[in-house]
Amino acid sequence: MIIMVPALVILLGAAMILQAEFLPDEKLLLLPPVNFTIKVTGLAQVLLHWEPNPDQKPRNVNLEYRVKINAPQEDDYETRNTKSKCVTILHRGFSASVQTILWRGPSLLASSWVSAELKAPPGSPGTSIVNLTCTTNTVADNYTHLRPYQVSLHCTWLVGKDAPEDTQYFLYYRYGSWTEECQEYSKDTLKRNIACWFPRTFIQGKGRDWLAVHVNGSSKHAAIKPFDQLFALHAIGNDEQKPLTRWFLIVLMATICFLLLMSSLLCRMCHLWTKLFPPVPAPKSNIQEFFITTNYEKAGSTETETEVISYVEEPGFETLEDSVF
């Protein structure tokens, strides 16, 4: 121990000197990342990717990045990675910026920003669907499938007010890495799709992923603007609570049974203990007399044993009587 303390001090000192050597110079100039790209990787999902600036010196400092989402909704966060996934609606376009940052104690060094954007998809105004609402419904499965329940999805919408009469709409949903196109549409009098029903989906009732819904369309007379919407499943589907609650109850019951069993076993052991080793008499006890009664019921037998243990305090000493009827 006495030898170890100086050794530790030396190690600590060496670590501090090493760190001092690697500490960035006061005039360290941070350079922005290069090759920043935004790629659509799924419905309502993009991947931002960039590379550290190859001219950045020194190279051994702990660089981080700050990502700022400018549209469709402002957001910003920091990361050590050089890529980042974003789940977001894309029908109004998407734009983001990234900069190199370095924390030095409480102060922050930052480079200039680099930006990239995705243009909004083309389409005439007023042609996209409006008032999209979706509901999910969870039903217990009959165990012919892998999951104990199935989630269906039903969406309805209104035709865009300036959509030509020959407009046809198509609905897709994405959940995690699964994307499906609707196969069962309901139509209005002009045979335009205005609702969709998926009897089965890849949606997991208890999942935390966003449900992304994308509705695009086509017409001979105009480009139809697509429409995206994200749904938080806890906000639309709560039936999936049921199997969970059932499991919770089963676990709770099992725990209670276990505890009861343990406590009864403990009681039996204590009981045996008092029988084998009678308690040392307490001279000033004012308990005159007490009984412990235990009933045993044997399965398949009508016989009932009653065990009575009685302590009777007598002047000077205590006796233990154990009688079985």
Ligand X SMILES: *[C@@H]1O[C@H](CO)[C@@H](O)[C@H](O)[C@H]1NC(C)=O
Give which of 311, 318, 149, 310 is closest to 239, Cα–Cα. 149
The residue among 52 and 207 lying less far from ligand X, judged by its C-beta, is 52
Q: Which of 45, 204, 216, 229 binds ligand X (CB under 6 A)?
A: 216
Which residue type is seen at 168?
Q
Contact 170, 216 (CB under 8 A): yes
Supply φ then ψ for residue 218, to 5 degrees: -145, 155
The residue among 192 and 214 lying less far from ligand X, judged by its C-beta, is 214
The residue among 96 and 194 lying less far from ligand X, judged by its C-beta, is 194
- DSSP for 307-322, written as a single string: EEEEEEEETTEEEEEE
The Cα–Cα gap between 142 and 146 comes to: 10
Site for ligand X in 76-135 (CB under 6 A): 130-131
The residue among 60 and 293 lying less far from ligand X, judged by its C-beta, is 60
Question: Shortest distance, CB of residue 204 to ligand X, whole angstroms?
Answer: 18
Secondary structure class of 216 (helix, strand, coil): strand
Q: Which of 17, 21, 54, 119 binds ligand X (CB under 6 A)?
A: 54
Question: Shortest distance, CB of residue 183 to ligand X, whole angstroms?
Answer: 14
The residue among 91 and 96 lying less far from ligand X, judged by its C-beta, is 91
Contact 132, 181 (CB under 8 A): no
Q: Is the four-CA dihedral 239, 240, 243, 245 of positive or negative sign?
A: negative
Site for ligand X in 154-213 (CB under 6 A): 158, 170, 172
Q: Which of 34, 252, 312, 320 binds ligand X (CB under 6 A)?
A: 34
Question: Shortest distance, CB of residue 170 to ligand X, whole angstroms?
Answer: 6
Choose the stretch contacting ligand X; rule: CB under 6 A; options: 61-69, 102-110, 214-222, 300-308. 214-222
Q: Which of 218, 238, 255, 319 binds ligand X (CB under 6 A)?
A: 218
Question: Shortest distance, CB of residue 76 to ligand X, whole angstroms?
Answer: 24
Strands 149-158, 168-175: pairing is unpaired
The Cα–Cα gap between 90 and 215 comes to: 12
Decide if residue 223 touches ligand X (CB under 6 A).
Answer: no
The Cα–Cα gap between 206 and 284 comes to: 63
Question: Shortest distance, CB of residue 270 to ligand X, whole angstroms?
Answer: 53
Give which of 316, 307, 311 is closest to 278, Cα–Cα. 311
The residue among 131 and 288 lying less far from ligand X, judged by its C-beta, is 131
Q: Across the strands, what pairs with 196? A: 155, 185
What is the binding site for ligand X (CB under 6 A)? Answer: 34-35, 43, 51, 54, 130-131, 142, 144, 158, 170, 172, 214, 216, 218
